[in-house]
A = this chain, B = another copy of it.
Amino acid sequence: VSIPFDDRGLLLGDGLFETVLGVDGRLVWLDAHLERLEKGCATLGLPAPDRAAATRLMGEALAGVQAPRAAVRLTLTCGSGGRGLDRPVAPAPRLFATAAPSARPEAPARLVTAAVRRNETSPASRLKTLSYLDNVLAREAAREAGADEALMLNTRGEAACAAAANIFWVDRGRLVTPAIACGALPGIMRAAVVAAARGLGLEVIEAHAPPQALAGSEGVFLTNSLIGVRPVAWLDGRDLPQSPMVERLASALD
């Protein structure tokens, strides 16, 4: 239950994680999470973990939680290395899982636009990495401003995501979400929402859009594996309209 001082995940943020929803002892969307983790390993040049070992670790962590809903976090570090930035020739990743109760938020989210931008020039902007300090800072600034999540723009000023969620909005009956190239995580719930919306016959657009698109939309919502679909009540102090489409999508996914 601990990590040595020479681990590159600890020293340099060199590694990845997944956060999986556990419901009544079951790991939701498990295959999609493991697949994304494997793709992330390929991007970072790390060996992918053994699926059976990862599943076992998560199952053990989940079994220790006395709650119907849990957040199960699988963490993969690059493993031990020598001094400095250079990776060892053959990295030997470490894998561990932790879990905690995770209640679904009851209230809609309140967003504040973060000063720190999402660095879409980095592959890390499309991965859940152990280098998450920008997200921590964005979230913290949002909370200090009386909100509970941050809207993150990328360095070109386009809407990218929230600090720990993907973002969607409704524009003239169409569903819009930032393109992955904006610096957005290819969220498991993001993909599920896109599929559900198309299943309902809705048009879905992956866009490079300014933040004004959200302020002027028919409704904004967040998605991630833990919260599912969560409406956004206000952005930077201004109330946002509530679109019936958000409720419709949430119901389609339940």
A-side residues, CB < 8 A to B, are: 1-14, 17, 44-45, 71, 73, 75, 77, 82-87, 96, 98, 100, 102, 115-117, 119, 121-124, 129-137, 139-140, 143, 155, 163-164
- B73, B85, B140: which contacts A45 (Cβ < 8 A)? B140
In the assembly, what is the distance between CA of A5 and CA of B2, in Å? 5
Identical copies in the complex: 2
Once the chains bind, are B96 and A82 in contact (CB under 8 Å)? no
In the assembly, what is the distance between CA of A44 and CA of B9, in Å? 20
- B12, B71, B83, B124: which contacts A83 (Cβ < 8 A)? B71
- B44, B77, B121, B136: which contacts A115 (Cβ < 8 A)? B121
For A5, list chain B residues within 8 Å (CB).
1-3, 75, 96, 98
Q: How far is the CB of A117 from chain B (nearest CB, A)?
A: 4
For A98, list chain B residues within 8 Å (CB).
5-6
Once the chains bind, are A85 and B6 in contact (CB under 8 Å)? no
Once the chains bind, are B17 and A11 in contact (CB under 8 Å)? yes
Shortest Cβ-Cβ A-B pairs, 4 listed: A131-B131, A13-B13, A155-B155, A131-B133
In the assembly, what is the distance between CA of A134 and CA of B130, in Å? 11
- B2, B8, B87, B131: which contacts A4 (Cβ < 8 A)? B2
In the assembly, what is the distance between CA of A96 and CA of B2, in Å? 14
In the assembly, what is the distance between CA of A134 and CA of B125, in Å? 10
Q: How far is the CB of A181 from chain B (nearest CB, A)?
A: 14
Q: How far is the CB of A35 from chain B (nearest CB, A)?
A: 21
Q: How far is the CB of A222 from chain B (nearest CB, A)?
A: 13
In the assembly, what is the distance between CA of A71 and CA of B139, in Å? 34
Q: Which residue of B lies closest to A149 (CB)?
A: B85
26 A–B contact pairs at CB < 8 A? A1-B4, A3-B7, A5-B96, A6-B98, A11-B75, A12-B130, A12-B132, A13-B13, A13-B132, A14-B132, A44-B137, A71-B84, A82-B100, A85-B163, A86-B139, A86-B140, A87-B136, A116-B121, A116-B122, A117-B119, A117-B155, A119-B119, A119-B121, A119-B155, A122-B137, A123-B137
